Structure 1
Amino acid sequence: MAGWLAVATAQAACTRPINVPMAAIGVSVNFDESKAVGIYPTLLREVAASTRCQLDMHKVPRARLQTLFDAGQADMLIPASATPARDAIAEFVPLIQVRVSLLTLDADAAVPRSLADLLAQPDYKLAVVRGFSFGAAYDATVAALRQRNRLIEEPDPSGVARALRQGLAQATVMTASIMVGTLVNDTELQPLLKRLRIEPLEELGWSASGLYLSRRALGEADRRTLRTAFGQAARNGRIWQLFNEHHPPGSLGVSIRPLPTPP
């Protein structure tokens, strides 16, 4: 960690405090009262120290976070998957590669193998986090299930885990590391770890996850400073190190991996 921090210490400070609302998402982002803790808050504090930028983190619901960002009232959206709608208003900085999967509890071999199969099963319900987006195929499936009254929408991953435990839905679709981190972090939900099953879906392969820097709220100089610092954390493996420190050994391979090394 000290090595990559030293690389960026000569960078200029941001021109103003950076507004970073955040939503709880397992061990990636959590809150000890009002203090943000977890993988991404740790990374943000390291970037703040290296760049001499002031990064102001505060808690908001996930759906509210997206609304603030869309309106230009948030400088950063983290963590986030790349989508065309976000690309139109912000600059994406990749940090890690993720694979979104179908997650079930004690499911048998009859689980859907694709989003198309899932939609074709009239009694199959999905539980999702309101405000999550994992690309066009995911968004279209969620919209179709909502229209057919087959969608359970929760404010956070803990709510999704409880909906699965109560049998309100048969599955969820998200990055497995999000659910694993949520279950690890909640003593009430920890027993579900042994029941969790992870199945790939044909339409959802590996993709980049990272953060967005708002073009509506941030000037080019501040975006360049932050882009450089976060990019360095991805290239030198710091973000991958943080994920491994916060998850059970061997739990990341099917859902998360470092960015490919450039040729």
Structure 2
Amino acid sequence: MNAIWRSGLWGAWAAVLLAVPPAGAGCQRPIDVPMAPLGLSVSFDGERAGGIYPALLRELAASTGCVFQVHRVPRARLLKLFESAQADLLIPAAASPARDRDGEFVPLIQVRASLLTLSHELPAPRSLAELLAQPDFKLAVVRGFTFGAAYDAAVATLRERKRLVEEADVAGAARALRQGLAQATIMMTATFVSTLAAEADLAPLLKQVRSEALEELGWAESGVYLSRQRLGEADRRTLRQAFGQAAKAGRVWQLFNDGYPPGSLGGNVRPL
């Protein structure tokens, strides 16, 4: 059993530890952090947060004195909250020029998305260009996911060609593949697999998953966005330093290794 889930008390304590300010709070006010479930990275038992990123916030709360108020929201709403200046942090998040307008990005980890299918009968495309060239190939994507300019451009093209199935979350994308509505999805393998494992109706699909690298999708940074509109410079500086130090010290990478089964991160997650 991994370190994050080793104690059954973690889920019960997480909300308390993230919401109660220690002596000498380091931020000028509580930090509002909406989160959406994302495999082993973010999970909820009711409203109680668990997983890698809530664990990171818990540690930073202890080291900085900042109070992180975590609450669960659907992923589509999560992005809208940040874009409309109703959230202080967007975490986890891939670096994106569009998001740079609203927030300051602090990288925490490097990730690489892959093409994921449930069929071994036909050869999978090895590039986005090859995927686009197959007129009957449909792709299931999660709204709000981005893996760089090449990915965004391919998604826009597939949407225009009516070959895109857009889902609210990872489980929805997996169900679209199971139902034959799309032939593949693109995301981190660890995120997809851990979501299947957590959903009883999807767990039988685990043995069918095939992961293929795509030529245009290399390693990219994933991390946290600090709202420019809601957070003052002093709080942004405190949070920037805290998140940056956790990444440089290897703590974020260690949380991933503790949270995911051995060998499951190779090829799709690595330290900065």
TM-score by length of structure 1 reads 0.91
In 2, are the aligned partners of 1:126 and 1:169 still within 8 Å (CA)?
A: yes
- The correspondence for 2:41, drawn from 25, 28, 40, is 28
- Paired position in structure 1 for 2:4: none
CA distance in 1, matches of 2:151, 2:167: 16
What CA deviation, in whole Å up to 9, does each residue of 1:105-126 have, x standing for no partner?
A: 1334621111111111110001
- The correspondence for 1:173, drawn from 173, 179, 186, is 186
In 2, are the aligned partners of 1:11 and 1:225 still within 8 Å (CA)?
A: no
- Paired position in structure 2 for 1:249: 262
- Paired position in structure 1 for 2:209: 196
Aligned length: 252
In 1, are the aligned partners of 2:148 and 2:220 still within 8 Å (CA)?
A: no
Structure 1: unaligned runs, 5 residues or longer: 1-8
CA distance in 2, matches of 1:171, 1:11: 50
CA distance in 2, matches of 1:146, 1:51: 44
Counterparts of 1:197-216 in structure 2, within 5 Å, are 197-216=210-229
- The one-letter code matched in structure 2 to 1:84 is P
CA distance in 2, matches of 1:236, 1:230: 10
- Paired position in structure 1 for 2:10: none
- Paired position in structure 2 for 1:60: 73
Task: Give 1:63 deviation, angstroms.
Answer: 1.5
In 2, are the aligned partners of 1:28 and 1:181 still within 8 Å (CA)?
A: no
Task: Give 1:52 deviation, angstroms.
Answer: 0.9
- The one-letter code matched in structure 1 to 2:39 is G
CA distance in 2, matches of 1:63, 1:237: 30
- Paired position in structure 1 for 2:151: 138
CA distance in 1, matches of 2:206, 2:95: 28
- The one-letter code matched in structure 1 to 2:140 is A
Secondary structure at 1:14's aligned position in 2? coil
Task: Give 1:227 deviation, angstroms.
Answer: 1.1
TM-score by length of structure 2 reads 0.88
CA distance in 2, matches of 1:70, 1:113: 34
Change (3 A) 1:184 1:85: same
- Paired position in structure 2 for 1:240: 253
Secondary structure at 1:250's aligned position in 2? coil
- In the alignment, is residue 14 of structure 1 matched against residue 24 of structure 2? no
Q: Sequence identity of aligned pairs in percent?
A: 67
In 2, are the aligned partners of 1:93 and 1:227 still within 8 Å (CA)?
A: yes
In 2, are the aligned partners of 1:40 and 1:79 still within 8 Å (CA)?
A: yes
CA distance in 2, matches of 1:65, 1:193: 28
- Paired position in structure 1 for 2:55: 42
What CA deviation, in whole Å up to 9, does each residue of 1:91-142 have, x standing for no partner?
A: 1111111001101113346211111111111100011111112221111111
Secondary structure at 1:122's aligned position in 2? coil
- Paired position in structure 2 for 1:90: 103
- The one-letter code matched in structure 1 to 2:231 is L
- Paired position in structure 1 for 2:85: 72
Structure 2: unaligned runs, 5 residues or longer: 1-21
Q: Which one is further off, 123-132 or 191-200?
A: 191-200
- The one-letter code matched in structure 1 to 2:202 is L
CA distance in 1, matches of 2:87, 2:146: 18
- The one-letter code matched in structure 1 to 2:189 is A
RMSD: 1.8
Task: Give 1:88 deviation, angstroms.
Answer: 2.2
CA distance in 1, matches of 2:198, 2:231: 33
- Paired position in structure 2 for 1:101: 114
